[in-house]
Amino acid sequence: MADMLIGVVLADRYKLLSRIGEGAMGWVFLAEHVEIGKKVAIKVLRPSLCRLPEAVSRFRREARSATQIGSKHIVDVTDFGTTDTGSVYFVMEHLQGEDLGSLLKANKFLPWPRVLHFLEQLCEALQAAHDTGIIHRDVKPANFYRVEQDGDPDFIKILDFGIARLANPQDSIVTQTGVVMGTPDFMAPEQAMGKHVDHRADVYSLGASAYALLTGRPPFEGANEYDVIYKQLNDDPAPPSEVAPVAAKLPKWVDAIILKALRKNPEDRFASMKEFAEAIRKARAKAERSERPAKAEGSESEAAEPSSGRDETAEGSLAGREVGLAPMVWVWAAVGLVAAAAAAYALAQ
């Protein structure tokens, strides 16, 4: 069906050239504006889903969310329409690069300075989304796209607001209670339980994504999705520095930041993405200051470990498309094992 669309001109403007992506909801095509020759990407909802009001609503929400936020770190959506056969589509900028899930799969782990650079950009983009009242709900490496822009080869764009929702939801179809949506490896406990979530669920998911990028594996692994969710609800993750390969040389001060984002109770996490980013900047600045005198004295041991004890700057501010993981959005009723896990989680509080 998808290949039948190649060569079709949508709205007398966009000629579909080739299929460049596919997911559960639909296809992504490389297209060209017939008048000005500009390359764009067009996402088309599967015809079978166009008959489902809920699917169409989510598809429209993805397009509107990206447009409303208006961040340079979020893929730009420029048009929306319907094909002659009744399928809805939207037009977005064509990105040339790779998603961080694929980058991680090819490299096993990413250098921590590079990951922190990614994180600061992601915090900025997600803070902009939250300021607009939009929660992403599927923050994961596969939805972070690396491109070259503004002279930065590691410029990040966030994709896929398909299951995003408003912080104060009024659309009961899109935000059914008891239905879990997201990706288990990166899902916040309250989201896994099918509860109402706020922006702090994205904080958790970004922390889990950072954990995977730094160590090569998500915070929790299991035999299946249910096992992973149970651990999300009841277990504490090991510090990233203890899990990362020795070659990563991951400083222990990074642990405090990532583990803060991964707290079970939303109130114990960073209160905002802005606070998350500020914790990174303060902790890194303190570490750099600690290294300077050590290097001046020629002390390799001090330079390698900038903080001999507790990192007061980090802990002080903290107190107050596939990675070989689950690549697709996971939708299931929050019953059975999740209910048992939720009970254990509640008793632990």
Q: Which two tokens stand for residue 56?
A: 């169409």
- Whether pLDDT at 273 is above 50: yes
What pLDDT, on a 0 to 100 scale, did the predictor assign at position 302? 43
What pLDDT, on a 0 to 100 scale, did the predictor assign at position 296? 52
- Whether pLDDT at 322 is above 70: no
Active site residues: 138
Nearest to 42 by CA among 65, 61, 26, 56: 26
Confidence tier at 68 by pLDDT (50, 70, 90)? confident
Mean pLDDT in residue range 206-229 = 96
- Whether pLDDT at 132 is above 80: yes
For the chain, where do the domains classified as CATH 1.10.510.10 start and end?
97-276+321-348
CA dist 27 and 49 (Å) reads 12
Q: Looking at domain 97-276+321-348, what is its CATH homologous superfamily?
A: Transferase(Phosphotransferase) domain 1 (1.10.510.10)
Least confident of 66-75, 92-101, 265-274, 316-325: 316-325
For tokens 């008891």, name the residue.
Answer: 178
- Whether pLDDT at 118 is above 70: yes
- Whether pLDDT at 292 is above 80: no
Q: 306 vs 153, which has greater pLDDT?
A: 153
What pLDDT, on a 0 to 100 scale, did the predictor assign at position 157? 96
169-207 tens-digit pLDDT? 444 334 444 445 678 999 999 999 988 899 999 999 999
Mean pLDDT in residue range 294-310 = 45
- CA 147 to chain CA mean position, Å: 16
- Whether pLDDT at 313 is above 70: no
Tell me how long the chain is: 349
Q: What is the DSSP string of 122-177?
A: HHHHHHHHHHTTEE-S---GGGEEEEEETTEEEEEEE---TT-EESS---TTTT-T
Q: What is the DSSP string of 37-58?
A: --EEEEEEE-TTTTT-HHHHHH
Q: What is the DSSP string of 62-82?
A: HHHHHHHH--TTBPPEEEEEE
pTM above 0.85, yes or no: no
CA dist 249 and 51 (Å) reads 52
Q: How far is CA 204 from CA 108, 197, 233, 235, 263, in A?
A: 22, 11, 12, 14, 7
Q: 304 vs 60, which has greater pLDDT?
A: 60
For the chain, where do the domains classified as CATH 3.30.200.20 start and end?
2-93
Q: Looking at domain 2-93, what is its CATH homologous superfamily?
A: Phosphorylase Kinase; domain 1 (3.30.200.20)
- Whether pLDDT at 325 is above 70: no
What pLDDT, on a 0 to 100 scale, did the predictor assign at position 326? 39
What pLDDT, on a 0 to 100 scale, did the predictor assign at position 341? 53
CA dist 205 and 183 (Å) reads 9
Mean pLDDT in residue range 138-145 = 94
